[in-house]
A = this chain, B = another copy of it.
Amino acid sequence: MSKQLPLVAMDACCSPLAREPLTADQAAELSKLFKAMSDPVRLRLLSLIASHAGGEACVCDLTDAFDLTGPTISHHLKVLRESGLITGERRGTWVYYRVHPEVLARLSAVLVPGGAEALA
C-alpha cells in the first residue's frame, strides 16, 4: 500500500483541453482518471472522503452510506486508489482513506482554459 501516488496527471496535466489537441498518451492518462470518477458510487465515495471531518474517512463510515456489500465498496475504493485519487492507511483495526487534492486540482485545470494558472 505505497506505490499509488499521483503517478498519473503529472505530465498529462497542464495543457487545457481547449488549447491544443491532446496527444493519444495524454488522453489515455486522463481517461483513466475520468473513468475512475465515472461511477456514481465512486463519486459519492470520493465526496464522502473529501468532505469528511479531518479530511479522512474510515471504510466503516463509507459502507454504511450505501446499499452495497462490503466487497463492492472495497472494489470501488481500490479503483479510486489505483487511479491515484485517494490513498488508504491502516491504523489498528480500521483503514482510513483520504483524497489527493492535487490530482483533483489538476483535473479541474485541464477542463477550463487558463485553468493551469489557478494552480500556481
Contacts and interface: CB of A to CB of B under 8 A. Distances in A.
Contact of A30 (B17, B22, B43, B111): B43
A12 to B, nearest CB: 10
A37 B99 CA distance: 21
Interface in A38-54: 38-44, 46-48, 50-51
B51 A27 contact: no
Contacts of A18: 47, 50-51, 99, 101, 104
Tell me the number of copies of this protein: 2
Interface of A: 17-22, 24, 27-28, 30-31, 34-35, 37-44, 46-48, 50-51, 65, 99, 101, 104-105, 107-109, 111-113, 115, 118
